[in-house]
Amino acid sequence: MDKSGEAYWKAVLTLIAQVLAVWFFVSFGCGILFADALNSMSIGGYPLGFWFAQQGSMYVFVILIFVYGKLMNNLDVKFDVHEE
C-alpha cells in the first residue's frame, strides 16, 4: 500500500474512533456514569440523566450518522477516492 492509502486509512480509523468515543460518552457516560449528577437538571419535567438514557442518546446517534457521513465524504474528497 502506498503512503496515500496508509494516510487515508489512518484518517478513516481516527474518524471512526472519534465517533465511537462520542457514542460511548453519550450512551454510557451520560446515561449511566453521570446520570446522578445530570439528574439535578431536567428536560420536559424528566431528570436529564434519565432523558439521556431513554431518548437523548438516540437523538445523538442519529446526528452522529449524518456527521459521520459528511466527514467521511470530506475525507474521500480530500484523498481523491470519492465517487462522481
Cell of 79: 484523498
pLDDT for 54 equals 86
The arithmetic mean of pLDDT across residues 45-72, rounded, is 92
pLDDT digit string, tens, across residues 10-55: 999 999 999 999 999 998 998 889 989 999 998 888 899 888 888 8
